[in-house]
Amino acid sequence: MSIILHVDMNSFYASVEQAKNPHLLGKPLAIAGNPRERKGIIITCSYEARAVGVYTTMPLFEARKRCPDLIVLPPNFPMYRAASIAMFDILREFSSLVEPVSIDEGYVDVTLLQNPQQVAYEIQQTILTRLKLPCSIGIAPNKFLAKTASDRKKPLGITILRRRDMEHELWPLPVMEMHGVGERTAKKLQQLHIHTIGDLAKMSPYTMKLAMGKMGVQLQERANGIDRRHVNPEAIYDTKSVGNSQTLARDEEDVDALYVVLRRLSDKVAVRLYEKRLVGTTITVHIRDHNWHTVTRSGTLANATQDKRVIYQEAVRLFEIGWNNLPIRLLGVTMNNVMDETQQTEQLSLFTYEEQMKDEPIRQLVEKLTRKFGEGSIQRGISLPRAKGYHSYTSFSKDFLQDHQKGE
H helix or E strand, kind and range, residue 331: strand 328-340
Q: Which residues are annotated as a binding site?
A: 8, 104
CA of 317: how far to CAs of 296, 304, 321, in Å? 12, 17, 6
Supply φ then ψ for residue 271, to 5 degrees: -65, -45
User: Three-class SS of residue 298?
Assistant: strand
- Calpha distance 118→124 (Å, rounded): 10
Single out the catalytic residue among 17, 48, 99, 105: 105
**CB of 287 closer than 8 Å to CB of 322:** yes
**CB of 330 closer than 8 Å to CB of 368:** no
H helix or E strand, kind and range, residue 10: none
Cα R_g (the chain), whole angstroms: 24
**CB of 104 closer than 8 Å to CB of 12:** yes
Closest CA relative to residue 296, chosen from 318, 272, 264:
318
- Calpha distance 327→248 (Å, rounded): 10
**105 annotated active-site:** yes
Task: DSSP letter for 43, please.
Answer: E
* Count of all residues that appear for the chain in the document: 408
Task: DSSP letter for 341, please.
Answer: G
Task: DSSP letter for 378, please.
Answer: S
Closest CA relative to residue 119, chosen from 233, 7, 227:
7
- Calpha distance 282→278 (Å, rounded): 13
**CB of 319 closer than 8 Å to CB of 258:** yes
Strands 29-32 and 71-73: parallel
Half-sphere exposure (CA, 13 Å, Cβ side) for 281? Answer: 12
Closest CA relative to residue 341, chosen from 306, 301, 386, 309:
306
Q: Which residues are annotated as a binding site for Mg(2+)?
A: 8, 104
Which phi-psi region, left, alpha or beta, contains residue 300 (left: φ > 0; alpha: ψ -120 to 50)?
A: beta
Q: Which amino acid type is present at position 252? A: E
Closest CA relative to residue 43, chosen from 284, 51, 35, 242:
35
Enumerate the active-site residues. 105
